[in-house]
């Protein structure tokens, strides 16, 4: 299973986390930007530990990355002190900042062959990608979606994604039914993210590639979360469901590549467009759209053709008597 999980974890370590941090707006604690820039270097020991045998040495390498995730988690209270806000969008962002620390702790325990809290090593290994993508990326995207649309659905997404993630984590310690409850809440929140993403895609003045990435991220998300829900239901009730290996190959890869990578790529492209063309709004307001539609309709409607006036032919002028030729008598 590591041949499937390890590359996904490396994508989360090296690309998803620093790319997501670059998309954050609002007040930034002083240490966030240096930490983001140094993140690939801090992730390298953890990535190397993934491919080494379980040992004290690989656990030590994983600990370097775990310390980086703890430093990132400490940015959450620092940001809260600056914003002094617990709006749904901010709750999602704070959850994203804290989530990788769970992955870092699980990685150290798994590399040290230590069954942390009694969990199986395979489950600890799957916790690492889960809290990079379902923890960090999903919560961050929910917060970004809420920034674009602060309606009730967006607020629900920004609250239910962090709540579902925490409930799933709590389910590890309680029982399968608690984990199922967390999966239901998380699936509902991610479904809201998918709906809002498709709505945002429809209203965006963006290129085809950006719109395609948004569409893929939303549609893949629906499929992967239904898989997660069916797995949690099977674990709780004993109904047939996919094995962990198949879940890693379907739900895991889909969430990582289809949802997280596509969503972050699309939003990075949108951020670049805003930077390069600040005079071009991502979402033209309705008045602008109506005005353009009206102009397009006028351009498409052919102008009425006026009949060409026809002038009656001038009658032949009679020959003037003075011009008539007369014959003289002989």
Predicted local distance difference test score (pLDDT) of residue 118: 87
Contact yes or no for 61/53 (Cβ under 8 A): no
Decide: 76 and 99 in contact? Cβ < 8 Å. no
Pairwise CA distance, residues 306 & 264, whole Å: 56
CA separation for the pair 217, 209 (Å, rounded): 12
State the sign of the Cα–Cα–Cα–Cα dihedral 123, 127, 128, 130.
Answer: positive
- Tell me: the pLDDT tens digits for 24-58? 988 889 999 999 999 999 999 999 999 999 999 99
At residue 313, the pLDDT reads 45
Phi, psi values for residue 175, rounded to 5°: -165, 180
Per the structure block, which two tokens stand in for 144?
């970004």
Annotate 22-44 with three-state secondary structure: HCCCCCCCCCHHHHHHHHHHHHH
Which is nearest to 267 in space by CA: 94, 158, 148?
Answer: 148
Compute φ and ψ for 64, nearest 5 degrees.
-60, -45
Instruction: Name 288's Cβ contacts closer than 8 Å, sequence gap at least 6.
Output: none
* 143 contacts 136 by C-beta, under 8 angstroms: no
Contacts of 248 (CB under 8 A, 6+ apart): 1, 4, 5, 8, 126
Gap between the Cα atoms of 101 and 260, Å rounded: 18
- Residue that is written with structure tokens 């199986």 in the block: 120
| Eight-class DSSP state of 316 | P
Which pair of tokens denotes residue 76?
A: 């959450």
- pLDDT tens figures, 263-321: 999 999 988 877 776 555 444 443 344 344 444 444 444 444 444 444 444 444 444 44
pTM of structure = 0.80
Residues in the chain, pLDDT under 70: 1, 205, 277-330
Structure tokens given for 244: 């962990």
pLDDT of residue 207: 84
CA–CA separation, 78 and 37 (whole Å): 18
Q: What was the pLDDT predicted at 204?
A: 75
Query: Domain locations in the chain?
Result: 2-277
C-alpha span between 244 and 125 (Å, rounded)? 11
Query: Using CA of residue 133, residue 221, residue 15, residue 138, what is the dihedral sign?
Result: negative
Q: In 3D, which of 40, 16, 93 has the Cα closest to residue 263?
A: 16
Residues contacting residue 87 through CB under 8 Å, at least 6 positions apart: none
* Distance of alpha carbon 226 from alpha carbon 210, whole angstroms: 25
CA dihedral 137, 143, 145, 150 (to 10 degrees): 170
């Amino acid at each position: 299973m590591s041949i499937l999980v390890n590359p996904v974890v490396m994508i989360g370590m090296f690309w998803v986390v620093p790319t997501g941090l670059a998309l954050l707006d609002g007040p930034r604690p002083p240490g966030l930007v240096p930490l983001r820039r140094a993140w690939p270097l801090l992730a390298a020991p953890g990535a190397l530990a993934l491919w080494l045998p379980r040992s004290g040495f690989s656990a030590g390498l994983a600990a370097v990355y775990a310390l980086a995730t703890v430093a990132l988690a400490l940015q959450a209270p620092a940001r809260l002190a600056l914003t002094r806000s617990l709006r749904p969008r901010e709750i999602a962002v704070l959850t994203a900042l804290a989530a990788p620390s769970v992955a870092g702790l699980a990685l150290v325990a798994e590399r040290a062959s230590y069954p942390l809290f009694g969990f199986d090593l395979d489950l600890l290994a799957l916790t690492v990608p889960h809290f990079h993508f379902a923890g960090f990326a999903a919560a961050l995207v929910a917060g970004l979606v809420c920034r674009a649309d602060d309606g009730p659905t967006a607020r629900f997404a920004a609250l239910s994604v962090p709540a579902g993630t925490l409930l799933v984590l709590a389910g590890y310690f309680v029982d399968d039914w608690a984990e199922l409850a967390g999966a239901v809440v998380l699936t509902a929140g991610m479904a809201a993210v998918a709906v809002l993403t498709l709505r945002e895609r429809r209203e965006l003045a963006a290129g085809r590639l950006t719109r395609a990435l948004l569409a893929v991220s939303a549609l893949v998300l629906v499929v992967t979360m239904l898989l997660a829900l069916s797995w949690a239901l099977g674990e709780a009730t004993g109904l047939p469901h996919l094995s962990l290996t198949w879940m890693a190959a379907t739900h895991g890869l889909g969430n990582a590549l289809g949802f997280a990578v596509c969503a972050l790529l699309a939003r990075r492209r949108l951020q670049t467009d805003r930077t390069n063309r600040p005079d071009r709004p991502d979402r033209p307001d309705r008045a602008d759209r109506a005005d353009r539609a009206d102009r397009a309709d006028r351009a498409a409607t052919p102008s009425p053709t006026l009949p060409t006036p026809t002038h009656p032919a001038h009658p032949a002028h009679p020959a003037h008597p003075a011009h008539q030729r007369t014959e003289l008598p002989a």
